[in-house]
Copies of this chain bind each other. A is one copy, B any other.
């Protein structure tokens, strides 16, 4: 054990953290950064000004924005980010030390990866480059990327090689990001993605479906699985919420 688990952040480090946060959420409030990094808002403001003058971020009243701001994609993201954070919090409670977890991609999964506490010792198998990077930030997490052809659309690896690799795994938990979800089951629109998700479900002891409530009761063209194949449904809503009523008989646990 080393003596110097210094809590002191060097200025440069703090600024890197700020950039990381901004890249992740696309925007950030000075007040949030102040809380996260445990320094005064003045210091944050000075950092933001400095980073802005170096052209690394865009400073706005109250906080800062990412430089490469993809309007259409990210606005939806930021809009749902709070909800996804709630989902992440619920999801993380299911994770125990020593688990092996299989995960797909998607922004909800990304929020989970980001919120993961640093003291968890777990092994993640993933098909998403983005998630693998986010997970690799956690020192006690082992990340295995299941390689294959990267789908231009969904940005996860797909194809026979991935599927057969997944078949060789026996995971404790499968965390699925969801695109279509209704009483008939989970659905998706991309054939290759469906193959991967099916394999993931088959290789896991328990399956967790995570989705923002917005996607409830939407049906896409291809079926991934029926609801009796999943163990947990996690949304940002309270389990007793009206919208979730139709699912209480169909899914084992709703969180």
- The closest CB in chain B to the CB of A58 belongs to B12
Is chain A's binding surface mostly helix, strand, loop or mixed?
Answer: mixed
| Separation of A61 and B24 alpha carbons in the complex (Å) | 27
Q: Is the CB of B139 within 8 A of A152?
A: yes
| Separation of A61 and B8 alpha carbons in the complex (Å) | 12
Q: Is the CB of A152 within 8 A of B165?
A: no
- The closest CB in chain B to the CB of A148 belongs to B145
A227 to chain B, nearest CB (A): 30
Among candidates B69, B130, B165, residue contacting A129 with C-beta atoms closer than 8 Å? B130
Q: Answer yes or no: A255 CB below 8 A from chain B CBs.
A: no
This protein's copies in its complex = 2
Q: Is the CB of A150 within 8 A of B144?
A: yes
A4 in contact with B25 given A76-B67, A130-B129, A133-B130 (CB within 8 Å): yes
Q: Is the CB of A6 within 8 A of B32?
A: yes
A192 / chain B contacts, CB cutoff of 8 Å: none
Q: Answer yes or no: A248 CB below 8 A from chain B CBs.
A: no
| Separation of A74 and B20 alpha carbons in the complex (Å) | 8
A29 / chain B contacts, CB cutoff of 8 Å: 4, 6, 8, 10
Which residues of A line the B interface, CB within 8 A?
Answer: 2-4, 6, 8, 10-13, 16, 19-20, 23-25, 27-29, 32, 36, 55-56, 58, 60-63, 65-77, 129-130, 132-133, 135-137, 139, 142-152, 155, 157, 162, 165
